[in-house]
Amino acid sequence: MQENNKQKYTKLLKQKALELGFSGVQIAEAKELTAEARKLEQWLNSGFHGQMHYMGNHFEKRIDPRKLVEGAKSVVSLMYNYYTPKVQEDTTAPKISKYAYGKDYHFVVKSKLRELLEYMQEEVGEISGRCFVDSAPVLERDWAKHSGLGWIGKNTLLINKKQGSFFFLAELIIDLDLDYDAPIKDYCGTCTRCIDACPTNAINENGYLVDGSKCISYFTIELKDELPQELKGQFDNWMFGCDICQDVCPWNRFSTPHQEPEFDPHPDLLTMSKKNWEDITEEVFRKVFKKSAVKRTKYKGLLRNIKFLKD
């Protein structure tokens, strides 16, 4: 492809992504992630994935996007802001992670991503590609890091200098040659706030490594068994997910409220009292969490979590 075409298509893609509501978009060359593959292997061998057995599936595809999209040339990484300053009114009520306040992000972000791919196909012609929103074996944080969207912080989340970390990541893997962006440096410095604040010590004392099987989000969302009794009193009142390592991160002072109506919480969600949560019925669960990511833990799972916090 001629150089000027490459520039033109890169500009078109980035402009359209921002128009669709993405808060950042950068591009990396599609290739095998050799160093990251070794890290992932070590993480899996240490059992840090707990019962998330899917993390070990499709290893080859996970480390090489060209095995997901034949002839892939570019990995487009995108950010979609979900930050809100809104909080639950009853400070004693069981807490829910901000990312799950509104409609399930998988649907919201994926439809925008599909629109972006269709737009590029109309503008450029024959492009093969796939859209990913936390939905396939893609090392999304590593790709976002390679594209320069941010750096991977000590809490292992991607942090953006201007926007913090309250955003979803999405990827477009396409067989179109584009202008590639470069990674940026790590700005965590000597800060250890996320490490110090984690109630279950899930973050390694040196940072940059999380034992997923100790994370409050893992326990309240992924774990299907009974919650371990020895961790009683260590969940800081989180019933679904956990925002502690983001709430304490200094970079999140740059977070700005999202502009996505689909992410606004159900009117009842933030006003429910501790007692309302403890007495929640399946009917109320279905009403408040219609089309929400919380449905993943199901009514029974949420009840288990609330009971664990209460007893």
Nearest Cα residue to 269 out of 69, 4, 84: 84
* DSSP-derived secondary structure letter, 177: -
Host H or E run for residue 138? none
129-132 and 167-174 as β-strands: parallel, antiparallel, unpaired? antiparallel
Side chain identity, residue 141: R
The angle at the Cα of 221, spanning 23 to 255, to the nearest 5 degrees, equals 25
Across 175-229, the runs of DSSP E, i.e. the strands, are none
Residues 88 and 281: their CA atoms lie apart, in Å, by 19
Side chain identity, residue 23: S
The number of residues making up the chain comes to 311
Residue whose token pair is 């403890």: 278
Nearest Cα residue to 80 out of 52, 54, 103: 103
Q: Are 239 and 302 in contact (CB under 8 A)?
A: yes
Neighbours of 6 (CB within 10 A): 16
- Please indicate whether residue 134 is annotated as part of the active site: yes
Q: Are 79 and 25 in contact (CB under 8 A)?
A: yes
Nearest Cα residue to 236 out of 198, 189, 207: 198
39 contacts: CB under 8 Å, gap ≥ 6: none
Q: Are 305 and 237 in contact (CB under 8 A)?
A: no
Which among 90, 134, 175, 177 is annotated as catalytic?
Answer: 134
Collapse the DSSP code of 167 into the 3-class scheme (helix H, G, I; strand E, B; otherwise coil) and give the result: strand
Residues tagged active-site: 134
